[in-house]
Every structure is written in structure tokens, then in C-alpha cells.
């Protein structure tokens, strides 16, 4: 009888856990986390009546507090069957670990997680060493709507590896999901793709393993290669804002650009789609760069230039969906928009801005491009791709690219970037890591090597 009761108890516990699990479509995900605040994102089922986050300092659940999530803050923007929500918890203590659980309809669920607030090191101690994960191009197969032939999505277990790789945060470099032909012509389709791909079971542990930040590129914006002419770009922005929990989004009305700072490093997360003229527009007019052909747009570029001048960071990552520097790439890059390319690189030169590194995605291979400059430090473009989408072989002009100082093709991979060292002599190391955690190569550069003359 005792064994039978134990068996029934196990069955009942499993049913309860399954029922609780089904209350969420996806999540929870940790978003922007600072010294005294943390954002929690999740997508519950649409028939849920109430939702709350219970949180407490680790080991002090008897002092737990609750943050209600506003389930009615829908503003009539998205279709009723998709209901992503997020909330910011305030009043936290710096450098502290917190546990949390999700409460639905007045009951605690099995959905739990933890997060760390940032350490208050400024004026107190040297900048902390840290690492972050990064990568681009995530494709989850959906055979009914995929193109015929070999599946484009590859081994998604890479996200389990990443979930177990300790880091301060994850920075998604665009193409974070792939809209299909059946998606990008309608508002519903854009919401569906984000919701469906976010709900993949393999992602769930990773979403709550660390904070997540993101930019976009063409496939999670809309159709392949499209920019400012996309008729649903305003809807796409709302989808992006609803499925990520970044510090901010553009100028408040347009765009998704923002700034992220961690320890003594600044990240300028750029939008390469909202103001982008079409790739086929002529790059030159009468032999001069065409001022009408832009990737970033005048407003965003002005913001970036001012943000770079004000930055005192050891390293300044300019994060873009498309590559920036690769002179031999046959595909889209900032160099194909020479008016803006000259304006940005010329500004970095004239203002003697140290520590600039470009961080990009898109290409379905990983590489580091070096662009040497006269009497100044070289510029580097670190590209990390793909996470799960198809790979390719370096070919044609790119096969023996003289600007490449590291290359990795035909391999799924993610990047782990480590920042370490004493003040004034910090080191940036990039590790390229495979599906099962295997070492696929590394590269490094020091703060002194990126010092402007």
C-alpha cells in the first residue's frame, strides 16, 4: 500500500507540474539587469487572469516580495492570441543574488529562476572582469512552411551548452528568428513567428540562465535584405519590443538602437534596418559617395557619434546586424554605404576614439576582419554566426581573404568574449565554441593595442 501511495503521489506531482508548465507559452527570460533593477519577461497563455513575480534575496524567502504584472497593458497593438509581457522589479540591492518564482492566478507555479544584480564597483575598486556570450542566426525548422529540401535549421542543442556556460549576459546579434514567406506579409505572421520560435523547449533553460539583450537584422525584421521600405516596419518594432527586454528602443518612436554598459565596457546596439535604403541603390553619384544611400540613418549616426565621444570605456563595441569592414564580402555591409562608412570611420579617426571594436552577425560563418590604418590602431570586425541556421564554405574572393585574421566556416558556433586585466591594460579575448562546448579557436587584443594616436 505504501508503494502504491508513493506511486500515486508521483503521478499527481507530475500532473501538477505539467499543468503548471502549460500556463506559460515561453519564459521566464531575464532581461535588462542593473544595480537595483531587473526585468523579467514571459509569455503566458491568454486566458490567465493574474500574474505576479515573487522574489527574494537568496536564502531569505521568508522576506519575499511580490511584483504584479499588468496583464491589461496591451494597448490594442498585438493580436489577442499572443500576449508577451515583462515587468521591471526595483528597489533591489547591488551585487546580490535573487531567486524568483512565477505566480499565476494566485498560485505559485514550477517556473523559477535567479538573477544577480550588478556590483557597485565604481569609485570603490577596479572594474570587474566578466564574460558574455554572443551569436546570430537562429533558425528553428517548421516543415509545413519551410522551403522544400534539406532542413535549414541545424542542431539546436547548442542552446543547452550555452545555458551551462557561465557568463554575465547573452547578446543576440540579429536574425534571432527567421520570418518565412507565410509570415512577413501580415501583422499576425510577424507576431506568430516571434512567439512560436521563442516557445521552443530547448531555449527555455537558456532564457533564464542569464540576462539577454538583442539587436535585429533582416530576417527577424521582415523579408530578406529589406530596409526602410518595409510596409510593416512599425509592427516589426512592436514585436521586437515585446519579445526583448532591452534598456531602451531607438528615439522612442522609431528604431531599436540603445546603449548597454557593463563593468568598464560600453556596447552601442545599432539598428541596421529602420532607416536603411535598399541595397541595390547606387553607392556613388558622379564618382562620389551617395549621401542618399544609408544603413544607419542620420539621426542614429549622430546619436552614435555623440555616445562614442562621451564614452570612457576601455572597449567600445559597436554592435550591428550587418558586417562593417569586410572589403571583399559580396554581401551587405556598411562599406557598401560609403557615405556613412566614411563619416563613421573618419569621425573615429578625427576624434581619436580608442578601443573601438565592431561586433556583427549575419554571415553564417565566424571571422575576425582587420582593417589597418595609417598611424593609428587597426579596426576589427568580430563576426559570430551561425547559432542554428545553415553554414557555408568560404569561397571565391572570401576564400583567402587577406583582411581575415581568424576564420571559421562550416561550423555552428557561438562566441564567448572575456574582458580581464588591470586598469589601463585590459584584455579582450574571443573564444569560438561549438555545439557541444568544443574549442573552435580564439583570438585576443589588448586595450593598449587599441589606443588612438
Domain boundaries, given as residue ranges, for the chain: 13-116, 130-450
Q: Are strands 170-173 and 212-215 parallel, antiparallel or unpaired?
A: parallel
**C-alpha distances out from residue 251 to 24, 197, 254, 256, 300, Å:** 32, 28, 6, 8, 9
* CA max distance for the chain: 91
Report pLDDT for 142.
Answer: 98
Look at residue 447 and give its three-state secondary structure. Answer: coil
CATH classification for the domain delimited by 13-116, as one of 2.60.40.10, 3.40.190.10, 3.40.50.1260, 3.40.50.150: 2.60.40.10
Q: Residues 6 or more apart from 359 whose CB is under 8 A from it?
A: 134, 171, 173, 267, 317, 318, 319, 320, 381, 382, 384
Report pLDDT for 21.
Answer: 52
Q: Which of 314, 303, 204 is nearest to 249 (CA)?
A: 303
Q: Say if 13-116 and 130-450 have the same CATH topology.
A: no
Report pLDDT for 447.
Answer: 98
Assess contact for 360 and 320: CB atoms under 8 A. Answer: yes
Q: Residues 6 or more apart from 1 whose CB is under 8 A from it?
A: none
The single-letter DSSP state of residue 374 is: T
- Give the pTM: 0.95
Report pLDDT for 77.
Answer: 52
Q: What is the pLDDT along the chain (453 residues), one digit of tens a residue?
A: 445 444 333 333 343 344 445 799 999 999 999 999 999 999 999 888 899 999 999 999 999 999 999 876 554 455 678 999 999 999 999 999 999 999 999 999 999 999 999 999 999 999 999 999 999 999 999 999 999 999 999 999 999 999 999 999 999 999 999 999 999 999 999 999 999 999 999 999 999 999 999 999 999 999 999 999 999 999 999 999 999 999 999 999 999 999 999 999 999 999 999 999 999 999 999 999 999 999 999 999 999 999 999 999 999 999 999 999 999 999 989 999 999 999 999 999 999 999 999 999 999 999 999 999 999 999 999 999 999 999 999 999 899 999 999 999 999 999 999 999 999 999 999 999 999 999 999 999 999 999 999
Q: Which of 317, 297, 294, 320 is nearest to 307 (CA)?
A: 317
Q: Residues 6 or more apart from 282 whose CB is under 8 A from it?
A: 290, 293
CATH of span 130-450: 3.60.21.70
Assess contact for 210 and 170: CB atoms under 8 A. Answer: yes
Q: Residues 6 or more apart from 31 whose CB is under 8 A from it?
A: 38, 39, 40, 41, 86, 211, 212, 213, 244, 245, 246
- Return d(Cα 313, Cα 356) in angstroms, integer: 10
Report pLDDT for 78.
Answer: 57
Look at residue 119 and give its three-state secondary structure. Answer: coil
Dihedral, CA of residue 26, residue 27, residue 31 and residue 37, to nearest 10: 140
- Return d(Cα 266, Cα 257) in angstroms, integer: 13
- Return d(Cα 59, Cα 309) in angstroms, integer: 43
Amino acid at each position: 500500500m505504501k508503494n502504491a501511495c508513493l506511486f500515486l503521489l508521483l503521478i499527481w506531482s507530475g500532473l501538477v507540474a505539467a499543468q503548471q508548465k502549460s500556463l506559460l507559452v515561453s519564459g521566464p527570460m531575464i532581461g535588462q539587469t542593473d544595480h537595483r533593477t531587473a526585468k523579467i519577461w514571459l509569455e503566458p497563455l491568454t486566458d490567465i487572469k493574474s500574474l505576479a513575480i515573487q522574489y527574494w534575496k537568496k536564502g531569505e524567502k521568508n522576506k519575499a516580495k511580490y511584483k504584479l504584472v499588468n496583464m491589461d497593458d496591451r494597448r490594442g497593438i498585438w493580436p489577442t492570441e499572443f500576449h508577451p509581457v515583462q515587468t521591471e522589479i526595483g528597489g533591489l540591492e547591488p551585487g546580490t543574488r535573487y531567486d524568483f518564482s512565477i505566480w499565476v492566478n494566485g498560485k505559485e507555479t514550477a517556473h523559477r529562476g535567479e538573477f544577480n544584480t550588478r556590483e557597485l564597483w565604481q569609485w570603490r575598486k577596479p572594474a570587474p572582469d566578466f564574460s558574455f556570450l554572443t551569436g546570430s542566426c537562429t533558425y528553428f525548422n517548421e516543415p509545413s512552411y519551410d522551403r522544400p529540401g534539406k532542413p535549414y535549421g541545424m542542431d539546436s542543442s547548442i542552446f543547452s551548452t550555452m545555458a551551462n556556460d557561465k557568463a554575465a549576459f547573452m547578446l543576440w546579434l540579429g536574425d534571432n528568428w527567421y520570418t518565412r514567406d507565410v509570415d512577413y506579409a501580415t501583422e499576425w505572421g510577424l507576431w506568430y513567428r516571434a512567439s512560436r520560435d521563442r516557445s521552443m523547449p530547448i531555449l527555455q533553460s537558456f532564457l533564464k540562465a542569464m540576462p539577454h539583450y538583442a539587436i535585429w537584422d533582416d530576417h527577424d525584421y521582415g523579408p530578406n535584405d529589406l530596409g526602410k521600405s518595409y510596409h510593416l516596419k512599425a509592427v516589426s518594432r512592436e514585436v521586437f519590443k515585446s519579445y526583448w527586454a532591452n534598456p531602451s528602443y531607438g528615439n522612442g518612436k522609431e528604431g531599436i538602437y540603445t546603449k548597454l554598459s557593463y563593468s568598464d565596457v560600453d556596447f552601442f546596439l545599432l539598428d541596421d534596418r529602420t532607416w536603411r535604403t535598399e541595397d541595390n541603390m547606387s553607392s556613388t553619384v558622379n564618382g562620389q559617395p551617395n549621401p542618399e544611400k544609408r544603413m544607419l540613418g542620420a539621426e542614429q549616426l549622430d546619436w552614435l557619434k555623440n555616445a562614442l565621444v562621451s564614452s570612457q570605456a576601455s572597449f567600445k563595441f559597436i554592435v550591428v546586424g550587418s558586417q562593417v569592414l569586410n572589403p571583399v564580402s559580396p554581401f551587405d555591409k556598411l562599406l557598401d554605404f560609403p557615405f556613412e562608412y566614411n563619416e563613421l570611420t573618419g569621425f573615429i579617426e578625427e576624434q581619436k576614439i580608442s578601443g573601438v571594436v565592431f561586433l556583427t552577425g549575419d554571415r553564417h560563418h565566424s571571422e575576425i576582419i582587420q582593417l589597418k590604418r595609417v598611424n593609428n590602431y587597426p579596426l576589427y570586425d568580430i563576426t559570430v554566426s551561425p547559432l542554428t541556421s545553415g553554414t557555408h564554405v568560404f569561397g571565391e574572393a572570401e576564400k583567402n581573404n587577406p583582411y581575415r585574421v581568424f576564420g571559421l566556416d562550416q561550423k555552428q558556433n557561438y562566441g564567448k568574449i572575456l574582458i580581464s586585466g588591470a586598469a589601463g591594460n585590459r584584455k579582450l579575448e574571443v573564444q569560438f565554441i561549438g555545439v557541444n562546448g568544443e574549442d573552435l579557436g580564439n583570438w585576443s587584443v589588448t586595450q593598449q593595442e587599441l589606443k588612438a594616436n
